[in-house]
Amino acid sequence: MEGMRIAFQGTEGAYSEEALLKTFPGATPLGFPTFHQVFEAVEGGEADLGVVPVENTTAGSINQTYDLLLESDLHVVGEIVHRVEHCLLAPKGTELKELKAVKSHPQALAQCDGFLARLRLTPIPVFDTAGAAKSLAEAPEPGVGAIASRRAADLYGLEILAENIEDYPHNYTRFFVISREEAKRGEGPHKTSIVFAVRHRPGGLLEALSAFAEAGVNLTKLESRPRRDKPFSYLFYLDLEGHVEDPGPAQALLTLLRRAAFLKVLGSYPAYKNGG
């Protein structure tokens, strides 16, 4: 992976960058302000891969990522699960009692909601955790801190006023690795991610989901999202165990294709193994 260009949303020191460097040592991270630009960079060949967050154990799914996966021709080729440890940062010499507000990404603020409430700190949402740290270092604001990583504190010369401030200790973010090409079938356990819509009739969702039970396929995630083209209609994002070429998943998806109004396979990829 030496020299591979991998796009992520954010600034140097972001958790997405940490996750990709952990998984792809020696890669060249390319930071972009928005998720749209990450997808565009991969689609246009500016980056070889992209790493985008899809869900957090505390704050839930990152809906924009799922929406972009639906619209894009890119494929999910891997997943990363990264432990997120938030720190409260401020310019050197700042004391905790001086803070009145804290800047960070909305997901990070949500993951530290209890901590912020206890200290009566006003959350200020910005586009990136590391970006919040960088802007605070470049233009300090009286009474304002940032929530970001230890690495961001080191990179931008900020002081850590509190560590591990997330509300729940098991705070993990799951990332998808996206590519222009589909992943090749490898060894070991795989997962497949899909999106589908059901026909508007009684029992439509039950009928669709029974395809997996009939084929003996285990589901690991199911989430609904509103359809943009049909008000008050929904799409269902689903993760299942196995590769699309395995007999069970292949049969389940064939059955689902007959029963669903719409089906798109986002990708089959190696399931994340604890420790890497």
> Are the C-beta atoms of residues 223 and 209 closer than 8 Å to each other?
no
What is the predicted pLDDT for the residue at 172? Answer: 95
What is the predicted pLDDT for the residue at 1? Answer: 58
Nearest to 90 by CA among 101, 79, 81: 101
> Are the C-beta atoms of residues 24 and 6 closer than 8 Å to each other?
yes
Low-confidence ranges of the chain (pLDDT < 50): 275-276
Enumerate the active-site residues. 173, 175
What is the predicted pLDDT for the residue at 229? Answer: 76
Q: What is the dihedral of CA 229, 230, 234, 235, to 10 degrees?
A: -30
Amino acid at 172: Y
pTM for the full predicted model: 0.91
DSSP string, 66-97: HHHHHH---EEEEEEEEE---EEEE-TT--GG
Rounded CA separation 104/220 (Å): 30
What is the predicted pLDDT for the residue at 3? Answer: 80
What is the predicted pLDDT for the residue at 200? Answer: 86
Going through the chain in order, the beta strands assigned E by DSSP cover 5-9, 28-32, 49-56, 60-61, 75-83, 87-90, 101-104, 122-125, 144-148, 159-163, 172-179, 190-198, 219-226, 234-241, 260-270
What is the predicted pLDDT for the residue at 2? Answer: 66
SS3 at position 218: coil
What is the predicted pLDDT for the residue at 276? Answer: 45
What is the predicted pLDDT for the residue at 231? Answer: 79
Name 203's Cβ contacts closer than 8 Å, sequence gap at least 6.
none
What is the predicted pLDDT for the residue at 58? Answer: 84
In angstroms, how far is the first alpha carbon of the chain from the final one? 15
> Mean pLDDT in the chain?
94
